[in-house]
Amino acid sequence: MSHETTETAVEECSVVASEPETFGELHFGAAELGDVRRTKRLVRVANAIMRHPGGTLPEKMGGPAELEAMYHLMNCEEVTHESVLAPHIALTRKKIAEHDGFVLAIHDTTELDFTTRESLSDRGQIGNGSHQGWLCHNTLIVDPVHREAMGLANQILHCRPVESKKETTAEKRSRQDRESLLWLQGVQSLPSDQKIVDVCDRGADTFEFLEHEVRSGRTFVVRSSYDRGTYCSDEKNATKTMLHPVARSLPSLGEWTMKVEASKTKKTVRKTVNGKRISETVVVDRKAREAVVHVSASPVIVAAPRRHRGHHGNKPLPMWVVRVWEPNPPAGAEALEWILLTNHACTDLEAAQRVKSWYECRWICEEFHKGQKTGCGIENPQFTSSDRLHPMIAILSVVALSLLNLREFGRREDAKTRPATDLFSVEYVNVLSAWRHRKTKPAWSIYDFCMALARLGGHMNRKGDGHPGWLVLWRGWAQLQAMINGARTQKLINKCA
């Protein structure tokens, strides 16, 4: 039996049973690469990576011939980051248009470290300046009800420029490659749709960005980083005060208990050393626990800063401040506190909780970034040219996004009642259930499928273990793909015999 025959047999089955297309066809089948054969090859490459998301490119592709064909595809001038990602972005926009209710556009930036790839001459500084790579600014669309990632609406690979110490503030402000513009470019790439809510972390807390959001009429939630000058009513008849003390003085609208998941996050701490203000990045190791939190909200008018660091006017901006805080944290644990800026009117507890829940979804983008790096090894490809590397970053990003949803499928309220075959093909359900119970169970629920997948990836499925994370599910997925390929190959052997 030829290798090509085997490849054709094990090629491209649809993971989602309700869709006729394979993964590659669904997300990349409409790519315009100047030749239909290139698009077909892109589909095959995406399907191969989806089957084996981890490891190096040779491990993902499965063989020398497929690896060589992938490299040849990446060497085509028409195969760019933009042309590869375009059909996926179009699919995401279609999902937005068809969705009922709010959708979240979560904007966030991660660093892609390619310090050891010296042939990539157009890298920029990342981290503290000792490493080289790109900033990857993602706009991730999320369903806030089911917390399901719907797709990428934009991805910008940004090279951080080397700033001159002699550069004035005006010169910095006039530069079109300054990092603070990534947030504006992210929201400006989205369609004009009132159902879209922009959700951003502290990096977007610039007056330039806030002014754009207020004037555009878009709904936004931004975590406050700077203690800005603020009026609690009409600035002509009120005393100017500071935002954070105002937020911390507001009375509670209500309280509830929320789960705090374990995490390791980077936090920027500003302190004074020898009379100089410096910023230091520290890693905060947070343990899983439950927290009783309160929420408060009030309309405010945020004053423009005296020193302009971006292009904005001098008029103050009306908005709401929402504070979520934990008054009594456990001993040794850092108290939770979010001070959020929004233009969503928070006149009661329900509205304030809605804003809180929108911001909570920002952690899905953090998980996506982990998926890009840990799950798909997005920093591993050994390309010697950034023009060839960037299209692969686009492919791996879409794969990471698709597999990230495996975790959410098993956690949804309908997971135990909804048939697994609504999302996964009968073949996948039969193979996994046969491995788990020594017989096929086509009536399995989505919850049954995901828990068995986690077991295949090393999860013990004990009550105290909690829900499986995305990493263990990904390990199970890679094992399942190998089992599926083996089952299909065995069928071919039996047929040939």
67-121 pLDDT, tens per residue? 999 999 999 999 999 999 999 999 999 999 999 999 999 999 999 999 999 888 8
Q: 9 lies in a domain?
A: yes
Which distant-in-sequence residues (6+ apart) come within 8 Å of 215 by Cβ?
A: none
**Are the C-beta atoms of 85 and 395 separated by less than 8 Å?**
no
CA distances 60 to 44, 369, 394, Å, are: 12, 19, 15
* Pair 35, 87 in one domain: no
* CATH code where residue 61 lies: 1.10.246.40
d(CA 458, CA 426): 23
291: CB partners within 8 A, 6+ apart: 257, 258, 259, 260, 326, 329, 336
- 366, 286 contact by CB (below 8 A): no
Dist CA 493 CA 497 (whole Å) = 6
pLDDT at 269: 66
Counting beta carbons within 10 angstroms of the beta carbon of residue 99, is it exposed (0 to 12), middle (13 to 18) or buried (19 or more)?
Answer: middle
CATH code (residue 221): 3.90.350.10
Do residues 317 and 234 share a domain?
Answer: yes
Write the burial class of residue 73 (CB in 10 Å: 0-12 exposed, 13-18 middle, 19+ buried). Answer: buried
The reply to whether 190 and 327 lie within a common domain is yes
pTM for the whole structure: 0.85
Reading the block at residue 204, the tokens are 């977007």
Digit-by-digit pLDDT tens for the chain (497 residues) are: 434 433 333 333 334 443 447 889 999 999 999 999 999 999 999 998 988 887 789 988 878 999 999 999 999 999 999 999 999 999 999 999 999 999 999 999 999 999 999 888 889 999 877 899 999 999 999 999 988 899 999 999 999 887 777 777 777 777 878 888 999 999 999 988 889 999 999 999 999 999 999 999 889 999 999 999 998 865 555 678 999 999 999 999 999 888 877 766 666 666 677 767 666 777 777 777 888 999 999 999 999 998 888 889 999 999 999 999 999 998 888 889 999 999 999 999 999 999 999 999 999 999 899 889 988 889 999 999 999 999 999 999 999 998 888 887 888 888 899 898 887 878 889 999 999 999 999 999 999 999 999 999 999 888 777 788 877 888 898 888 788 888 888 888 988 87
Residues 241 and 319 in one domain: yes
Pairing between strand 263-273 and 131-143? unpaired
Total domain count for the chain?
A: 3
- Contact criterion met (CB below 8 Å) for 103 and 96: yes
User: Rounded to 5 degrees, what angle do the CA atoms 234, 240, 242 make?
Assistant: 120
Q: Which residue do the tokens 């010169």 mark? A: 171
**DSSP secondary structure string for all residues of 367-403:** HHHHIIIIIT-TT----S-HHHHHHHHHHHHHHHHHH
Amino acid at 161: P
Measured on CA atoms in the order 459, 467, 18, 53, is the torsion positive or negative? negative
Q: Which amino acid is at 11?
A: E
Domain final position from 355, 372, 389: 372
Together in a domain, 87 and 32:
no
Q: What is the pLDDT of residue 17?
A: 41
Determine phi and psi for 142, rounding to 5 degrees: -130, 140
State whether 333 and 217 are in the same domain.
yes
Last residue of a domain, one of 30, 58, 79: 79
Residue 100 CA to residue 195 CA, distance in Å, equals 8
| CATH code (residue 458) | 1.10.740.10
Coil vs helix vs strand at 107: strand
Distance CA 8, CA 3 (A): 9
Task: Give CA angle at 137 (340, 193), nearest 5°.
Answer: 65
Phi, psi for residue 138 in degrees, rounded to 5: -105, 145
Q: Can you tell me the distance from the alpha carbon of 59 to that of 49, in angstroms, rounded to the nearest whole number?
A: 9
Which segments within 251-343 are labelled E, that is strand?
254-260, 263-273, 276-286, 289-302, 317-325, 337-342
130 falls within a domain: yes
Q: How far apart are CA 91 and CA 138, in angstroms?
A: 16
**Residue 195 within any structural domain of the chain:** yes
Residue 461: partners with Cβ closer than 8 Å, 6 or more residues away:
451, 454, 455
In a domain, 406, yes or no: no
Domain region containing 58: 1-79
Q: Does residue 54 sit in the same domain as residue 96?
A: no
> Is 334 found in the same domain as 482?
no
Assess whether 98 and 60 both reside in one domain. no
CA-nearest of 18, 42, 19, 34 to 399 is 42
User: Alpha-carbon distance 277 to 330, whole Å?
Assistant: 31
Residues 67 and 212 in one domain: no
Domain closes at, from 45, 63, 79: 79
> Is 396 within the bounds of a domain?
no
CA 377 – CA 394 distance, rounded (Å):
12
Cβ-based neighbours of 257, under 8 Å, separated by 6 or more: 290, 291, 292, 293
pLDDT of 279: 66
List C-alpha distances in Å: 388 to 231, 341, 372.
Answer: 51, 40, 18
Tokens found for residue 484: 């599926």
As a whole number of angstroms, the distance between CA 398 and CA 43 comes to 12
Question: What does residue 302 show for φ and ψ, rounded to 5 degrees?
Answer: -90, 125
Same domain, 280 and 337: yes
**Buried b / exposed e along 1-27 (16+ C-beta atoms within 10 A):** eeeeebbeebbbbbbbbeeeebbbbbb
Residues 265 and 347 occupy one common structural domain? yes
Q: Are 81 and 87 in contact (CB under 8 A)?
A: no
- What would the two tokens of residue 480 be? 């399942």
User: CA 170 to CA 451: how far, in whole Å?
Assistant: 56
Report yes or no on 391 lying in a domain. Answer: no
Look at residue 235 in the predicted model and tell me its pLDDT. 55
Distance from C-alpha of 469 to C-alpha of 310, rounded to nearest angstrom? 40
Domain membership of residue 126 (yes or no) is: yes
